Structure 1
Amino acid sequence: MALATVFFCLLLLASAAISLLLLRLCLAALRRAPAPAPYAAVDSEAAARAAPPPVPQQEPKAPEPRRLAWREVEALTGGFDEAAVVGRGGSGGAVYLSRIPVVTGGPPAAVKVHRWCGGGERRLGAFRRELDLLRRVGRHPRLVALLAYSDDHEEGGALVLEYMPGGTLADRLHHAATPPLTWRRRMRVLHDVAAALEHLHDAVSVVHGDVSASNVLLDGGGRARLCDLGSACEGTFSAAVAPARGAAAVGSPGYADPFFLRTGIVSKKSDVYGFGVLLLEALTGSPAAGAPRPDGSCQYLAARVLPRVRSAGVAGLVDGRLGGEYDAVEAGDVARIAVECVAPQPGLRPTMAQVRAAVAEKAARSIAATTTDGGDGDLKLLDLFRMAS
């Protein structure tokens, strides 16, 4: 009996030891395993850090401009039919409205044809420069896009560009046969042009060289795109350093930077001066260069208007074609921006980024209003005037 009791006690002790060992092993395993979170969103930041980074969405790449044979340019222009001419380029070349789309089912295009005869190396150089810059600048919503080109003909070349049915800003500001742009549209156009110049200056270090109302084209909705890079130059610019590469631009009469005309030094601030004149032009409705005097001289808009703006503001200066339908506060602010842009010394002028931001701030009400009031009405009215003429 005593032997059985001893054996039973030993069995109990062995069972307890085995149970204790198993318990320790289980606890150790639990300590090594990561504890599941009770709620999936308890530590969202940690979960985000642990998750693989999202794959960035690639912007669709704009198609490369097509290279055309000269016979294709002839087909687009109907054999260079004069009836298809819709304008003239700054270098004297004709601009045709394409008879057939460049891309099947695509919109009409404008074909800018350059001829070397009569201009020789100068016209060839302007064409090559514009083609090279258009291809490298790429697509921007406020620059007229290059769709195709032809550059291997011995007598000329062609640039196939987006067609802007709204005509030029110069037409809409100065020609009595076209309906004038409203104040709101003018402010939107000015902001669009400033955005285009800001992109050229800051993204690709290019000076446009010929900012003018004739080089601002309007689409069907009253938005603007800057065109004509034939006078552009590129390089590392400052207000007092000549360009590293490219031809120095002279600019159109009334828009050309007086500092450049005196010194031959071109800079981004030369474009700022031209844009300042454009601001005054949109404000007053007067062309940048007035009618020639009997002695052949011409008083430019900036020289005529600036003394009055400085002394009396914009009273009596706003375009009469607006019929008083404009924002007087915005008009005064735009005039003050223009005064800064046309300062005599380039170093006193703001950058295009600063100018674009100032226009966006001071004309915010008008710019915002153009996003809700449509824009096809202006174009339809313009078409009626064209059909009647």
Structure 2
Amino acid sequence: MKAIDLFCGCGGMSAGLRDAGFNLLAGVDIEPKYIRTFTENFPESRSICADVSSIDILDLLEQFNLKQGELDLIAGGPPCQGFSKNVPRSRRAIDSDNNKLVNAFLDQCEKALPRWILMENVAEMRNGFDQYYTQAVVERLEAAGYKVIHGVHNAADFGVPQRRRRAFFMARRDGIQPIEPRPTHSKEELVDLFCETKSHITVWDAISDLRSLEHGEDAETDTYVSPPQNEYQRLIRNGCTHTFNHIARRLKPLQLQRIQSLEPGQGIKDLPPELRPKGGYSGAYGRLTKDMIMPTITRWVFHPGSGRWGHPKDYRLITIREAARLHGFKDCFKFVGSYNDQAGQIGNAVPPLLAKIMGEAFLTTNSHPSEVASTRLVKGEFLET
């Protein structure tokens, strides 16, 4: 199955699709720093640093001896800043340049007419602006001959140790109705007539086999401190014998004092008066606990004042490798660039494990929709479609 990833970033979506069995022909992104990481991890694919709206998709297909309609999948996650609730309301607008990139993605899909389309965005994109963009996406794809479904999915429900809600649009032009993937994980293990789910993956499930570090300590190519402790660690190691990007950011003296004054689970409101900043995010300077699910990782994961990034055991922030583990990247995936660049690459990426399941959903054509509905009913919730 041949695929092209538009707005590929560092390659989160691509990594998942590759694991699902797709042959990634090319990744396109305008950010050179992200393309460097994509190139490092996808040497077999074409890396294209360009504005998605400026490329000639038919010319690109021709380079792979493909014509219009012969590509299997176009995937992509157009930038989301125009929708994200992390952006001040005053900077969210229906005609934001970032929002218009959704149209650029659709333009390329309409020209290439792949069999399948997978688009990801922040959850707010689906309902924002009175569902203006959702309606536009569905109308354009249906007019091009696609059957379309869309829904909001939490990465934690699909084996990623992170609460991350994202909207996905799935479209098929092969006459088959797309089918939403079934959640594989839940708060508690569940086995019944219709489905089986495992318990959510916790922070410590994900990172307990990585070396303990002091802030500022470097374990870039370190070995693991133990054999895999669980199924998730075995999956995420993927045959690797050592780690990449396991470096603890050096904190400023005041930042370190704040982290050292907190117990796991505590945050800015628990700081001593003399160390407490005048204001900040509710999760600022927060420390994780071993048994919690990671909150949504953002591109600010390098800064202690921007979220709950404190390690549950060590007095430091989580490393890039730990953030990658908590995002569903396998250990063989290597990030390049400055520490801040790498943090941005992870925060803006689609979790690969979630992308894998979405990709596999296109390959599942023998499930009846009633089976999916039954699963939702047993779990006591219905995903919106």
Fold conserved between structures, TM > 0.5? no
Q: For this structure pair, what is the TM-score category when the shorter chain's length is used for normalisation? A: under 0.3
Instruction: Look at both structures and tell me which one has the larger radius of gyration over its CA atoms.
Output: 1
**Which structure is richer in relative contact order (CA contacts within 8 A, separation 6 or more)?**
2
Q: Report the TM-score when normalising by structure 1.
A: 0.25
